[in-house]
Homo-oligomer: A and B are copies of this chain.
C-alpha cells in the first residue's frame, strides 16, 4: 500500500482541483491510501470513499508567504499535511500551495537525507526525441549553490532516472555557458572538476542543447535552473501565441488549421506540462511533490501520480544507496 498525504486546500483552484483528482486516483489504484487534509465541509464528497482518512484544517497559507508565517500557521492545511506525513507514516505528500512554504516546511519538519545539504526541485522535460525525457535539477529550490551540492544533485538525478525510467546507467551533464572544460561560473568550474571522477559524466552542456535528447540528467544550480525553466516557458508561450496568429491570418490558413488539426494536437500533447506533473523536491526524507499553483484537476492528478509511482518504486531507498 502506498500512503500519500494531500494538501486539499492549496493552489488557485483549491478543492475544485484536488477533490476530483483524488477521486480519480482512488478509482484508478487499489493500493493507494490517501490522507486528505482540508476543511471538512469542503471534503464531504470524499467521506464515504474507501482508503481515505480526512484530517481537518482551518486556514490556508497565502501563495506569497514567508517561512516564519507558514511555520506559525499551525492550523493551516499545508502545515498539518506536512506534520501528518510523520504522524501517519506516509510515503509522500502533494500540495499546489505556496512553493516557499511547502519547500521549507517539508525540509524543516521532515529533514534532509544523509549526504544532502540542499534538496532540489527535479522534473522531467520533453526533448526533440519522441518519448525521451531529460531530467533537470535544481530548477529553483535554491538561490545559490556550492560545488559539492551540484555533485549531490547529479547523484540524486541519476537515482531518479533509474527509478522512473529503469535506466541503470544514466549519463549526466552540467549546464554551463559553453561546452568545453573551463567554461561556467566559478562554482560550475569547481563542480566540473569534482564531477570528472563520477560515472556517467559527459561534461558541460549549453542551455540550447538541453532539450536535444542526448542527456539523461542535466544539473543546474537552483538560480540558473529557474531561469532555464522560466525562459523555456516564456518562449513556448510566445511561439504558441504566434502559432495561433498564424492560423488566424486568413481564410486559407483557417482551413489549413482544420486540415492540420491532428498534427496540432500531437504537438500540444508533447508540450503539455500538465501531463509532466509537478516538480519533486528531492533530497528530503519523503516524496514531496509541488503541483503548479494553477493546477486543475487533471494536472493535480498527474502530480499525485508522480508521488505514487516514486513511492511505489521506492525512490528513497535508491537515493540512500546512491548518496552513501
Contact check, A260 vs B266: say whether CB atoms are below 8 A apart: no
Contact check, A212 vs B185: say whether CB atoms are below 8 A apart: no
Which residues, 174 to 195 on A, are CB-close (under 8 Å) to B? Answer: 175, 177, 180, 184-186
Complex interface bits, A217-228 against B, C-beta within 8 A gives 1, otherwise 0: 000000110111
| Identical copies in the complex | 2
Complex Cα–Cα for A239 and B255 (A) = 22
Contact check, B234 vs A210: say whether CB atoms are below 8 A apart: yes
Complex Cα–Cα for A266 and B250 (A) = 12
List the B residue with the shortest CB-CB distance to A183: B143
Which B residues are in CB contact (< 8 Å) with A128?
237-238, 241
Smallest CB–CB gap between A178 and chain B, Å?
9
Which B residues are in CB contact (< 8 Å) with A126?
238
Q: Report which of B231, B237, B267, B270 forms a contact with A228, defined as CB distance below 8 A.
A: B231
16 other A-B residue contacts (CB within 8 Å) besides A126-B238, A175-B227, A208-B231: A127-B238, A128-B237, A223-B224, A224-B227, A231-B232, A231-B235, A232-B235, A236-B239, A242-B267, A247-B263, A249-B266, A253-B262, A253-B263, A256-B257, A256-B259, A256-B261
Check if A230 is an interface residue, CB within 8 A of chain B. yes
Complex Cα–Cα for A14 and B74 (A) = 67
